[in-house]
Amino acid sequence: MTKFKRIGVLTSGGDAPGMNAAIRAVVRAGLSNNINITGIIRGYDGLVNGEFREMSSRKVSNIIHRGGTILKSARSEAFRTQEGRYKSYRNLIEEGIEALIVIGGDGTFTGARIFGEEYDFPIVGIPGTIDNDLFGTDMTIGFDTAINTVVEAVDKIRDTASSHERLFFIEVMGKDAGFIALRAGIATGAEAIFIPEVQTELDDFESYLFNGSNQRKSSNIVLVAEGDETGGAFKLADKVKIKFPQYDMRVTILGHIQRGGSPSAYDRYIASRLGVAAIEALMDNQRSIMVGLKHKEIDHIPFAQTIKHHKEADKTLMALLKTLNY
């Protein structure tokens, strides 16, 4: 059992609803174990520049329901350099911070792993990204809220699509992964989904349109992950328009609306559990690991594994979508 006097916490990369709930859990779990908590502002940039805030229990009151992150977030260029990381280490020592908890995604953990090895510094990660693309955890903080936001938006678009008998291409986030498109596509009854993990959707969708299986439908909704190899919703619509000019098509990019908003009950719940688990892991001498959720239980996954392995999208869901569109 390691007895820490002070632990730092930061949020990094794209923000995600539920990050505040995780910060709150880290602060309260730390304080209840007589560990002081320092908030680091603007992710790794704040480490490099020494932007530190003392976190009291009251500083995290009334934030569990708020989107974004009270600690701010950034994608730091400075921390990618050896000089930036050296400055960070000096700042941590001066501040008396003996361990770090970093909340973010793949890039956040890559930085943490390098820094942890370079300076033999204890770091534990908490998965926070709307993309849900981290190997070693069933869910990341923010994913549930993001898909609910997408579902709400797509339902609204369906209303107008039906009224005008239109074909809509709706682009959702996910530059490397199609988890949002897949899950939200099934939940909204989308007619097709385009994701980076699968390369045959255009053929399938074209034969769906050729075969006229859409004839009975007054609207068609296609969800496109931004990282799909077709190049996104606008490019895909252009391609489809050439072969099917008879369709009245529209394109909507949902964009950053997916990253904001009050976190869902589920995101608040997992953020709270993972925040406490991160403090407990550090006290238990764990380092260079991410705390994740496996079959609803807390799990510890080495950074090396979560960074190296690719979390597979469940491709059987594509077949399920076809069945549901029968």
Which residues, other chains included, contact 148 with Cβ-Cβ below 8 Å and sequence gap of 6+?
264
* Binder among 45, 131, 201, 228 for ligand F6P (CB under 6 A): 131
Give me the torsion for CA of 25, 26, 27, 32, rounded to 10°. Answer: 80
Say whether residue 259 binds ligand F6P (CB under 6 A): yes
Give residue for tokens 């989107």: 67
DSSP state of 128: B
In the complex, minimum distance from the CB of residue 174 to ligand F6P, in angstroms, rounded to a whole number? 5
Measured CA to CA, the distance from residue 213 to residue 280 in angstroms comes to 54
Q: Which is nearer to ligand F6P, 173 or 233 (CB)?
A: 173
The reply to whether 128 sits near ligand F6P by the rule CB under 6 A is no
Q: How far is the CB of 215 from ligand F6P (least distance, A)?
A: 35
Within residues 222-241, the interface with ligand F6P by CB under 6 A covers 226
DSSP characters over 196-240: TT-S-HHHHHHHHHHTTTTTT-S-EEEEEETT-TT-SHHHHHHHH
Of these, 8, 30, 46, 105, which contacts ligand F6P (CB under 6 A)? 105
Distance, in Å, from the CA atom of 149 to the CA atom of 296, rounded to the nearest integer, reads 23
Binding piece for ligand F6P, criterion CB under 6 A, among 173-181, 271-279, 291-299, 318-326: 173-181
CA–CA distance, 141 with 155 (Å, rounded to integer): 23
With binding defined as CB under 6 A, does residue 174 bind ligand F6P?
A: yes
Min separation Cβ 164 and ligand F6P, Å: 29
Interface pick for ligand F6P out of 130, 182, 221, 254 (rule CB under 6 A): 130
Under rule CB under 6 A, which residues in 61-100 are in contact with ligand F6P?
none
* Count of residues touching ligand F6P (by CB under 6 A): 10
- Is residue 166 within 8 Å of residue 250, measured between CB atoms? yes
Q: Which of 15, 106, 131, 267 is catalytic?
A: 131
133 is catalytic: no
Closest to ligand F6P by CB, 37 or 251: 251
Measured over the CA atoms of residue 62, residue 134, residue 72 and residue 143, the dihedral's sign is: negative
Point out the residues that are catalytic.
Answer: 131
Instruction: Please report, as ranges, the residues that interact with ligand F6P according to CB under 6 A.
Output: 14, 105, 129-131, 173-175, 226, 259
